[in-house]
Chain A
Amino acid sequence: MEAVSLQKVVKSYRRGKETVEVLSGLDLEVAEGEFLAIMGPSGSGKTTALNLIGGLDHPDGGSVTVCGERIDQLSNAALARWRARHIGFVFQFYNLMPELSAERNIELPLLLTGLDRAERRRHVAVALQLVGLSDRGRHRPNELSGGQQQRVAIARALVADPSLLVCDEPTGDLDRHTADEILGLLQSLNRQQGKTVIMVTHDQKAANFASRQVHVDKGMLIEAAAAA
């Protein structure tokens, strides 16, 4: 079954008086349980495609079906509820809230659920354990290394048990060794937990951790290659 299906997706942005078409009829299918790497040069439209898949933006044309739902037809409020239920986000710069501890950051998506405090704490503990940071829960982001912060971000993405993990350059701000650890973590989440992972990267070594790679250029899918 398809986790993601993009059909003839068009998306443009206005830059000053100019309209720039970023996606020009993009088609993309991602199967459930797949680990897909989207590659391409800067400005190719890969992050725009990821934003559409994550329900952060609306396309100008075409259809976007994710987790069985036509999300291009949802209102902003419905899209917010849908994101909370289905998507976990991991960003290049972690995007943790600086004043909150790791635990509180991870707990954020659970605030939108009906779980009580004890259940939320239990879920947070499991997520921390999964990313190997059980002893860092009380630390604030500025007390953690880059790799640890990204692990916290991954724990936050996982904690509400989404079916799809959307990762935008998750290792772009990390050294090679730490990057490999994070990618290994994403890979194990894909293989052991069955999470569908879609990762945008321009790092070939990072893309090698995925089960499939696609290349986007000038808003079109130009090539697909299966990893070993």
Chain B
Amino acid sequence: MKYFPLLWSGLWCKRTRTLLTLASIVVAFLLFGLLQGVNAAFSHGVEESRLNRLYVQSRVSFTESLPLAQLSQIESVAGVEQVAYAHWFGGYYQDPKNFVFSYPVDADRFFSVYPEIELPPDQLKALINTRTGAVVGADLARTYGWKIGDHVPLKSQIWTHPGGNSDWEFDIVGIFEEPVDRSQEQSFYFNFKYFDEARAFGKGGVGWYVVQLRDADQGPGIAAAIDARFANSPDETKTQNEKEFTQSFLRQFGDINFLVNAIIGAVFFALLFLTGNTMMQSIRERIPDFAILKTLGFSDDAVLTLVLGEALLLCVTASLFGLAAATVTFPVMKSVVGVARLPPQVFLEGLSVAALLALVTGLPPALKVRRLAIIDSLSGR
């Protein structure tokens, strides 16, 4: 701490240049925070995947339906505990930008294979007994102010009624929580039977089956057995574990991890030169100051540490502002990632990146200062 005034004063010897550099780093870390936040939120869903669940979808495409008749055949595969099914509804509330992750499900089976979804038994019963019933995640309910007993209309981007109308009516009968993965609290589940009877086309088809296994270790063998059962049929299947399924689902939006890393990589590559140049310029201008410090008894290693400390102070201070700004603005990403809070690990990752940036940009000038000869520097040679 006793060196802090020395570091701080060094940083501000050219006020405008430092402010502009700080601003660049702040913006870079704001971008880092937001993009990594999105990445982390998606990855969290993948990490929380369970290996004791398999997903069976059409081999052709995720958007291709499978016949409900396959249900009993999947159930009969050895090692299968139970099977649920669901479909993609593609719903939105009032305005297409108010996208709702909505799924018709066989409620009894579905909530049995997802024990992590906390839905009170009486509300599950109400869902089963109410044709137009729906249960919503607590977060989604908060977003639109929905409560039990509310009548909620959704429009579907895919499914219409026989008359071509895409308006679907629902009655909220339950609100669930999912403490393990709060992003799932953006989901909206309703009765498959109502959906299947009321849709204009595709009757008897499901989007995917969810297979709960007796033993997770047997997953690969059971997946192969399911796919083999439907091989060479009109409805060939592709069976994956939950992690693979989630990853392939997310790939519909593009390879998020690659995109995020590419953008962040480009930003930090440019930032490396900017900050590196600032540090080099700043240190070059203050060579006599460092020569004086050496004259007073600061060792070569001490001045090297001071320059690195200055780079660290610049990068970490700016990154803190950038990451704080990302934390404040992250809730606007909620409609994309389903969570409103910047994952804490993004903050830690950001600080690590800032430290690395400081090391890379601070080391060349620090080594230059370490090597400088006092006599030459004082005489301006």
Contacts and interface: CB of A to CB of B under 8 A. Distances in A.
Chain B residues touching A, majority SS: helix
Contact of B301 (A51, A77, A111, A112): A77
A76 B300 contact: yes
B51 to A, nearest CB: 57
Contacts, number: 66
A80 B299 contact: yes
Interface in A68-94: 76-77, 80-85, 89, 91
A151 B13 CA distance: 23
A100 B5 contact: yes
Interface string B1-14: 01101100110110
Interface stretch (B66-74, B208-216, B285-293, B317-325): B285-293
Contacts of A89: 295-296
A51 B375 CA distance: 8
B5 A56 contact: no
A106 to B, nearest CB: 11
A85 B297 contact: yes
Contacts of B13: 98-99
B293 A56 contact: no
A109 to B, nearest CB: 5
A117 interface: yes
Contact of A97 (B292, B294, B375, B378): B292
Contact of A99 (B2, B9, B294, B300): B9
Contacts of A111: 2-3, 6
Contacts of B288: 95
Nearest to B286: A97
B300 A77 contact: yes
B372 to A, nearest CB: 12
A104 interface: yes
B108 to A, nearest CB: 70
A81 B297 contact: yes
Given A104-B9, A117-B2, A95 B378 contact: yes
A57 interface: yes
Interface of B: 2-3, 5-6, 9-10, 12-13, 288-289, 292-302, 374-375, 378
12 contacts: A57-B375, A80-B294, A80-B299, A83-B295, A83-B296, A95-B292, A95-B295, A108-B6, A111-B2, A111-B3, A112-B297, A112-B298
Given A98-B13, A117-B2, 15 more contacts: A80-B297, A83-B295, A83-B297, A85-B297, A89-B295, A95-B295, A97-B6, A97-B292, A98-B289, A99-B10, A104-B6, A104-B9, A108-B6, A120-B2, A156-B296
